[in-house]
């Protein structure tokens, strides 16, 4: 058996969540499928070694080269497939890794498009793209039960949950599985200093709050910055550090509104490079642990939008790995756990005073802080990559698919592919 993990984001020293997930997926499959040959295909020149001796890493330079790699393998796993995957539809088993609620996120990204006609056309092309992906897939995985409800509903509407599919698998667990984003083993170890005494304005004795990820449209960095203005009134030893601004997959950066807005607000409030600091760039993956090891609390805030309900905050898993208590806003499934177990403090979206109080609680209530840290041990075990990826390992090992037969799906697949290509082409030509 030959398994291909087809990465749709950069994999290497600099990588975002898409690349990290592909990297660990390929690693675990190589570890747990000794009978298989596993390949990780990436869109960039790999600048890190393979994480396992039996894992081959290759670069696909263009879609045709990617198709060549797909033709050489039996099982193909990807976050999304190009239309060229039609060539291998009847011959391969295809697993679709929809670990984020793409349609909801794309609605937020569409806010960057000012002309209403073009914005609607872009959203329509994305919807057709998702329909194509779901029709192509022999197995669909996602990050939580809420996301699973989205995809089961979408599959039902598309006619892909037929009576035969239901009869064979009434829970649909073999067709739509939950595979959360995983946590690395162990815990980051302190190494060379990267923050305290290194970044001008952050002292050795300061308490660092880390926003460990990018700033996108659905996040609310301004609430955290305004909360820092409140905290700074009573403590001058608390510093907020934004870890990443220029995403390696170019989905965000200082050219986009949200990071610029956050930077500008920190300047207006007199906090910039006094209490609030920005890393302009992206921290290499193997260095993230050093930043977390010097931090005291993880912070993240999101707006009260549809995205929050279906999110699985991938940035939180690194905070779990480092056993850093978290202050966040409510809405997503991990925020519910942070509040209930507890793993930190969760507050209402947009509530600046409550966010500031949450920070101060974790800073000043040492017993509560340590309780949150202890509780993270169980979460780390539950969300280890080796455990969460087991359903995908089982799918690769099995020779079966619980999706509707490829013959039943073929004509709808061709129609949905055509709709996507026409709409995408129209949008690329700049038509409204």
Residue 374: what pLDDT?
96
Residue 249: what pLDDT?
65
Can you give the pTM of this predicted structure? 0.93
Dihedral, CA atoms, 99, 105, 107, 108, nearest 10 degrees?
180
Q: At a CB cut-off of 8 Å and minimum separation 6, what does 365 contact?
A: none
Q: Are 254 and 260 in contact (CB under 8 A)?
A: yes
Q: Are 393 and 32 in contact (CB under 8 A)?
A: yes
> Could you count the other beta carbons within 10 Å of the beta carbon of residue 311?
25
- Residue 332, classed as helix, strand or coil, is coil
pLDDT tens digits, one per residue of 329-345: 999 999 999 999 999 99
Q: Are 430 and 118 in contact (CB under 8 A)?
A: yes
pLDDT tens digits, one per residue of 62-120: 999 999 999 999 999 999 999 999 999 999 999 999 998 888 888 888 888 888 888 89
Reported confidence tier of residue 190, pLDDT bands at 50, 70, 90: confident
């Amino acid at each position: 058996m030959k398994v291909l993990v087809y990465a749709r984001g950069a994999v290497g020293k600099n990588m975002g969540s898409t690349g990290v997930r592909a990297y660990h997926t390929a690693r675990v499959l190589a570890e747990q499928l000794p009978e298989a040959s596993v390949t990780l295909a990436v869109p960039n020149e790999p600048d890190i070694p393979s994480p396992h001796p039996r894992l081959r890493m290759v670069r696909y330079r263009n879609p045709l080269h990617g198709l060549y790699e797909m033709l050489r393998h039996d099982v193909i796993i990807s976050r999304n497939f190009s239309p060229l995957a039609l060539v291998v539809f009847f011959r391969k088993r295809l697993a679709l890794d929809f670990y984020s609620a793409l349609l909801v996120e794309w609605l937020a990204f569409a806010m960057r498009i000012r002309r209403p006609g073009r914005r609607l056309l872009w959203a329509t092309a994305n919807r057709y793209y998702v329909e194509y992906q779901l029709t192509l897939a022999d197995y669909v995985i996602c990050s939580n039960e809420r996301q699973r409800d989205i995809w089961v509903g979408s599959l039902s509407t598309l006619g892909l949950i037929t009576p035969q599919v239901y009869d064979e698998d009434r829970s649909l667990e073999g067709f739509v599985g939950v595979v959360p984003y995983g946590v690395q083993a162990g815990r980051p170890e302190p190494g060379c200093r990267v923050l305290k005494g290194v970044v001008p304005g952050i002292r050795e004795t300061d308490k660092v709050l880390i926003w460990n990820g990018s700033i996108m449209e659905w996040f609310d960095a301004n609430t955290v910055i305004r909360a820092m203005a409140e905290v700074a009134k009573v403590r001058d030893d608390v510093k907020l550090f934004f870890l990443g601004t220029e995403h390696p997959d170019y989905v965000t950066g200082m050219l986009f509104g949200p990071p610029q807005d956050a930077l500008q607000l920190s300047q207006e409030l007199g906090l910039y490079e006094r209490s609030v600091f920005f890393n302009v760039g992206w921290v290499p993956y193997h260095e993230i642990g050093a930043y977390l090891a010097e931090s005291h609390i993880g912070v993240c805030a999101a707006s009260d939008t549809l995205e929050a309900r279906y999110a699985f905050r991938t940035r939180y898993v690194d905070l779990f790995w480092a056993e850093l208590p978290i202050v966040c806003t409510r809405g997503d499934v991990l925020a519910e756990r942070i509040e209930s177990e507890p793993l930190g403090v969760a507050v209402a979206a947009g509530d600046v005073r409550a966010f500031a109080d949450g920070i101060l609680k974790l800073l000043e209530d040492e017993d509560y802080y340590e309780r949150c840290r202890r509780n993270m041990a169980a979460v780390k075990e539950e969300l280890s990559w080796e455990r969460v990826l087991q359903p995908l390992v089982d799918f690769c090992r099995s020779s079966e698919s619980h999706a509707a037969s490829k013959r039943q799906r073929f004509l709808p697949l061709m129609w949905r592919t055509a709709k996507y290509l026409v709409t995408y082409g129209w949008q690329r030509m700049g038509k409204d």
